[in-house]
Structure 1
Amino acid sequence: MAIKERKEREKQEMRNLIIESATQLFLKQGYDKTSIRSIADDIEYSPATIYLYFKDKDEIFYVIHENAFDILDKHLRQHDGIADPFERLGAIGRTYIKFGLENPDYYDLMFIMRAPMEQIKNEEKWKAGECAFGYLLTTLSECLEQKKIRPAELHVTAIMVWSFVHGLVSLYVRERMCILMMEDDATREVLYSSLDLFMANLKT
């Protein structure tokens, strides 16, 4: 292996190590209590080493955020083959819920954890987040054009759909569904059934 290739591989491995450590610390301690120093201590390197790869904690969080949204987007786009946009919308909703239930830590980091969004604001485009939301917009636009759902403004409808599934997942992730006093499997079925009822109310 050429020296240049080896150095690039080592650089990527170090970035991955920093990201993995930061992810776990953000989830365990919260954003505010995690520092560059604590990340450095966790991976047993000096803070100066981390600054060779990231300018600050915000940038590390942004990379983790992007990675998580990229994973979600890939899951959602598995439904590209569903021709009927209303059926695709339902599949997207179920997949979104499933992603949140199976990846509660990632979901917490993506949508619930309080952390500054300054790095995202500083980027020209929030690529992964816009990609996932754009897929929802495209699907809803097709539903509206084909009169599969009640007529409404596209972005209002998108926020309504997203807010509904986000609310379901958030209640589950933050363990508020215990109020139902059901077994976990039964609780999950309630979430999916709630989505089905919501979808039925969207239809024309």
Structure 2
Amino acid sequence: MGIKERKTKHKEDLRKRILEAAKKLFVTAGYEATSIRKIAQEIEFSPTTIYLYYKDKSDIIYALHQEGFLMLRQDFQPLMQVDSPFERLKAIGKCYIRFALTQPDFYEVMFMMKGPMEYLKVHCVDGEWAEGERVFDFLLQTVRDCQEVGYFQQLDVVQVAVQAWSSVHGLCSLFVSGHLKSMMEVVLDEDNQERMIEQAFRVFVHYLEATK
């Protein structure tokens, strides 16, 4: 590996360390309580070093937001090969739930924190949300495909997509925030929580099937 390649790798490794440290602090301490100085302390570098990569912490949280949506899109990508639209819709829901369960910190940054949305309001024209829109467009197209084979007749495509998304998001956010466990009379371990989420999703799927 040449000098140029080593420098590039060093920069990329440091960028990843900054993002990992920031994600940890955003989730454990909260976005408002996290500063560039605290992120720098976490990775044992000076704040000046972080400013070489990111303008401020809103820039950092949006970078995490982008990375998380890229991961989710990559998880969705194989589902394009599922021919049956309704089976694809079910697979999207399961994939989304699995992402929340296996990547709870990313999920919280992407779907439960206001920081990335505030960044969009300030820096993006008309609140453009390219990363989220690409993921949502996949869901929208799947709902349209479902309509072509007889599902959701006379229903608005966007409303069906939002209802499907909000249903699985509600389950996932209860899990990620810890409310699902704390609200149960009998303490559930993580496996039982996961099974509860999957069972609730199956109930929702049966409801969708009834709309055909």
Q: TM-score, length-normalised on structure 2?
A: 0.86
Structure 2 equivalent of residue 11 of structure 1:
11
**Residue 169 (structure 1) aligned with residue 175 (structure 2):** no
Structure 2 equivalent of residue 202 of structure 1:
208
CA contact (8 A) 1:37 1:47 kept: yes
CA contact (8 A) 1:150 1:202 kept: no
CA contact (8 A) 1:30 1:113 kept: no
- Any idea what the Cα deviations from partners look like across 1:40-65, whole Å, max 9, x if unmatched? 12222221111111111111100111
CA contact (8 A) 1:40 1:50 kept: yes
CA-CA distance at 1:88 after TM superposition: 0.5
* RMSD, aligned CA: 2.0
Structure 1 stretches lacking a partner, 5+ long:
none
The SS at the match of 1:117 is helix
- Any idea what the Cα deviations from partners look like across 1:64-89, whole Å, max 9, x if unmatched? 11111111121122222210000110
Structure 2 stretches lacking a partner, 5+ long:
none
Match of 2:197 among 183, 191, 204: 191
Structure 2 equivalent of residue 98 of structure 1:
98
Matches of 2:18 and 2:195, distance apart in 1 = 37
The code of the aligned residue for 1:175 comes to: G
Structure 1 equivalent of residue 140 of structure 2:
137
Name which structure has the greater RCO, CA cutoff 8 Å, separation 6+: 1
The answer to which of 179-188 and 44-53 deviates more is 179-188
Structure 1 equivalent of residue 39 of structure 2:
39
Q: TM-score, length-normalised on structure 1?
A: 0.89
Structure 1 equivalent of residue 77 of structure 2:
77
Give the % identical residues: 41
**Residue 123 (structure 1) aligned with residue 116 (structure 2):** no
Structure 2 equivalent of residue 151 of structure 1:
154
